Amino acid sequence: MSSYRVSMDIGGTFTDVVAYDEQSGTYAVGKASTTPADLTEGVLAGCEQVVGSPGDVTFTVHGTTQGLNAFLQRRGERVLLLATRGAGDVYHIARGNRTRLYDVHFRKPEPLVRRADIVEIDGRLDSAGTELEPLDEAGVRAAARRVREEGFGAVAVGFLFSYVNPEHELRAQAILRDALDGVTVSLSHQVAREWREYERTSSAVVDAYTAPIVRRYLERLETELRSRGLAVPLHVMQSSGGIVTAESARELTLQTLLSGPVGGTMGAVALARMLARPNLVCVDMGGTSFDVSLVIDGAPDVSSEAELEGFPLLMPVVDIHTIGAGGGSLAYPEAGGLRVGPESAGADPGPACYGRGGDRPTVTDANVVLGRVDEGNFAGGSMTLDAAAAHDAVGRLGDELGLGTAELAEGICDVANAKMAQAIRTLTVEKGIEPRDFALVAIGGAGPMHAVFLARELGIGEVLVPRFPGAFSAWGMLETEVRKDTSRPYFSPLAEVDLDDLVRLLDELEHEGFAGLADEGIARETGRVEHALDLRYVGQEYSLTIGLTGAGEPRAADFERALSDRFHAAHATRFGHANPGAPVEVVAVRTAALGDLGRADPAALQDGGGAEYPADVRQVTFGRSPQDTAIVRREDLSRGAVVEGPAVISEQTATTVVPPGASASVDPIGTLVVRVGEEP
């Protein structure tokens, strides 16, 4: 009897399913078209390709873009927002900042709730949480009537200082629940227990806007899978990089909103562990996107705040930076010069070679002209590329600029690579990191095509192309843990912290954490709870999250010194300087409850001695001239195989380019490890 661990990742075009066979330690990958009208269809179709019966599934995890799509297409619920009297416009003022400096036509993001749908409610707390004025319950009841009469699908509640004292928000919820049936109520302190009313309200509004849709979808998918015999809980990926059961996800749906690409980063975290390379730059390049994330000391780079189309979201999220536009970046002339991006051909019409009417050259077209793309087997053979169209588009621009077609094609790639590398470098500088000390993980269909060039620009010596680079996000989901995050504001100078009080709070959070894990089916002995404090120098606005050794650490003799030393060191790394001796203050307590549900453990490939593999030879342009280049199928490479550049290694969902001077070898679990070398 077989048993499988299965992950499902819904992308814009395809739904990827990865199944890990627990007996053999091998993987199977399924791919189905994403079915936007009813996503469960695509998920089930992909599932059927790799797993005979859902009854054989012992563990399953699922990344959903349902909420994100509803947000992006503005198909969310109609939301009524309750705010504190005098602060109702905070959501529309949106902190009043501009993100484009030289633009007299700048617009803030269009709010999800119109001003007429914001109701101010009397009732006020001060900054210590003391009630200055009681909640106007009649006002809340009147709002409930309006919800019913006007057919709102959800209510968001964002009262001032609810992060200190949630009483007014909880009372409002009770009144709304009494009066209304089946209407989502999102409380700002439950969505994000953090200060800053605009950011917390924005988080609650996005939650209210998307939650009903995600809930309906999860219920439906679970029902479908159950009816086909699934006997284990369905897990859902969260933006934090951890997973929870679908049941928990329905309670806090916002946490699943940005989970789509996070699987890739978590896969890189797993690679870091398996290959003992703790520091990785992870580059995910698709047809129209280019995302970068970092693994530092074996851990994902998780921040406590994200932004979505200009809306702030306060929640733990794996930092993924979207840079430029990847393969869709357009090349065009401007004032006699060449430009590549940021303008993109997008998915429609897309690059000229897609044959959908695009006639301007893109980075993908340049790769086609250079012979670096297998045009008959693009995107897993789902699409045949029009190489002639790519040649024509690049050639026309070349005529305009006085450059040959191949020369310009390579130039377009060189410019795109230089810009992508510079963007990565600036990102690492901001984090206080030297990219030279990192290895580069390349995923997505186009990531492995550009990776060696990016690595050379950054001074990185090694590129890793994992197995299934086109379905890596799904692969990564099989390598994650259960994770539940909570936080509490806690304002006090470090030197004046009431240590007993702090330990009491940590104990309480620890208890909550284990209770949360128990809800996920994780026994106390297999789970763990990690605590951290947000600290900053007195007078600073932004804080750093510094880990504690345990809930009891504040009782340790030299707690204050040990903790401030850790903070000074982290500050020096992140900001380039520290100020030992300056007073430090605590801003918040953060707790993460983590539980291991077992992971896929890839079996070693059979040692093929690295010997023979079939190779075609084709002309591919490198260094401005066509060169005889080995064209290799990845599945023909056994463990230990070595492929010297110039070579192109193609597989179902991706193409790896090994330029002259570089050499790729296959490690025991099938990773292509490319020594970058130097351009000869």
Partner 1 sequence: MARTAVDPITTEIVRSAFKAAADEMNATLIRSAYTPIIYEMKDCSVALLDSEHRVLGQSAGLPIFLGNLEICTRLTEDAYGRAAWRPGDVWIMNDSYLTGTHLNDMTMFGPIFHDDECVGFAACRAHWLDVGAKDPGGSMDSTEIYQEGIRVPPVKVVEGGTERRDVVDLLGRNSRFSYPAMGDLRAQIACINTGAARLAAILDRHGLGTVLAAREAIFAQTERYERAAIAGIPDGTYAAEGCLDDDGITGEPCWVRVRVEVSGDEMTVDLTGSDDMQAGPVNCGEAQAISAARVAYKLLINPDNPPDGGAFRALSVKVRAGSLLAAEDPAPCQWYFTPLGLLIDLVVRALAEVLPEQAAAASYGDSMVISMSGLDPRTGRPWLDLEPTVGGWGAWQGSDGQDGLINNVNGSLKDLPIEVFETKFPMRLTEYGFRTDTGGAGRWRGGNGIVRQYEVGCDELTLYLWFERSRTPAWGLFGGEDATPPVVVLNPGRPDERRMLKCSRVKLRRGDVIRTMTGGGGGFGPVGDRDPELVRADVRDGHVSPEAARAVYGLEVEG
Among residues 191 and 594, whose Cβ is nearest to partner 1? 191
Cα(51)–Cα(105) distance, rounded to whole angstroms? 53
Judged by CB under 8 A, the chain residues 521 through 550 that form the site for partner 1 are: 540-542
Does 674 engage in binding with partner 1 (CB under 8 A)? no
Strand partners, 317: 303
Does 330 engage in binding with partner 1 (CB under 8 A)? no
Does 573 engage in binding with partner 1 (CB under 8 A)? no
Q: Which residue from 383, 418, 518, 556 is in contact with partner 1, where contact means CB under 8 A?
A: 418
Does 419 engage in binding with partner 1 (CB under 8 A)? yes
Contacts of 411 (CB under 8 A, 6+ apart): 338, 403
158 contacts 79 by C-beta, under 8 angstroms: no
Question: Judging by beta carbons within 10 Å of its beta carbon (0-12, 13-18, 19+), is residue 129 exposed, middle or buried?
Answer: middle
Does 399 engage in binding with partner 1 (CB under 8 A)? no
Among residues 51 and 415, whose Cβ is nearest to partner 1? 415
Using alpha carbons only, what angle is made at residue 78 by residues 75 and 80, rounded to the nearest 5 degrees? 150
Among residues 15 and 487, whose Cβ is nearest to partner 1? 487
Does 92 engage in binding with partner 1 (CB under 8 A)? yes
Two tokens, residue 118: 């914001």
Cα(577)–Cα(513) distance, rounded to whole angstroms? 35
Nearest distance, CB of residue 94 and partner 1, angstroms? 8
Nearest distance, CB of residue 234 and partner 1, angstroms? 38
Stretch that binds partner 1, among 103-111, 284-292, 296-304, 670-678 (CB under 8 A): 103-111
354 contacts 386 by C-beta, under 8 angstroms: yes
30 contacts 50 by C-beta, under 8 angstroms: yes
Does 408 engage in binding with partner 1 (CB under 8 A)? yes
Cα(626)–Cα(370) distance, rounded to whole angstroms? 8
Does 126 engage in binding with partner 1 (CB under 8 A)? yes
Cα(152)–Cα(186) distance, rounded to whole angstroms? 13
DSSP H stretches of helix in 356-446:
363-370, 387-401, 405-431
Nearest distance, CB of residue 328 and partner 1, angstroms? 18
Nearest distance, CB of residue 534 and partner 1, angstroms? 14
Nearest distance, CB of residue 432 and partner 1, angstroms? 7
Among residues 197 and 291, whose Cβ is nearest to partner 1? 197
Nearest distance, CB of residue 624 and partner 1, angstroms? 10
Q: Which residue from 1, 107, 525, 614 is in contact with partner 1, where contact means CB under 8 A?
A: 107
- Alpha carbon dihedral 337, 343, 348, 353, in 10-degree steps, equals 30
Collapsed DSSP state (helix, strand, coil) of residue 270: helix
CA distances from 336 to 340, 397, 402, 553, 676 (A): 13, 11, 10, 64, 34
Q: Which residue from 356, 425, 488, 566 is in contact with partner 1, where contact means CB under 8 A?
A: 425
Does 577 engage in binding with partner 1 (CB under 8 A)? yes
Among residues 410 and 651, whose Cβ is nearest to partner 1? 410
Two tokens, residue 558: 């030299």
Contacts of 471 (CB under 8 A, 6+ apart): 9, 16, 18, 29, 31, 653
Binding mask 598-637 for partner 1 (x = CB under 8 A): ----------------------------------------
Question: Judging by beta carbons within 10 Å of its beta carbon (0-12, 13-18, 19+), is residue 122 exposed, middle or buried?
Answer: middle
Stretch that binds partner 1, among 166-174, 181-189, 417-425, 498-506 (CB under 8 A): 417-425
Among residues 56 and 585, whose Cβ is nearest to partner 1? 585
Q: Which bin fits 263, alpha (ψ -120 to 50), beta or left (φ > 0)?
A: alpha
Two tokens, residue 271: 């690679």
Q: Which residue from 43, 119, 154, 160 is in contact with partner 1, where contact means CB under 8 A?
A: 160
Does 415 engage in binding with partner 1 (CB under 8 A)? yes
Among residues 82 and 249, whose Cβ is nearest to partner 1? 82
Does 142 engage in binding with partner 1 (CB under 8 A)? no
Two tokens, residue 171: 């009372």
Stretch that binds partner 1, among 4-12, 300-308, 572-580, 645-653 (CB under 8 A): 572-580
In the complex, the residues that contact partner 1 under the rule CB under 8 A are 86-90, 92-93, 95-99, 101-108, 114-116, 126-127, 160-161, 163, 195-199, 334-340, 401-403, 407-408, 411-412, 414-415, 418-419, 422-423, 425-426, 429-430, 432, 491, 540-542, 574-577, 579, 582
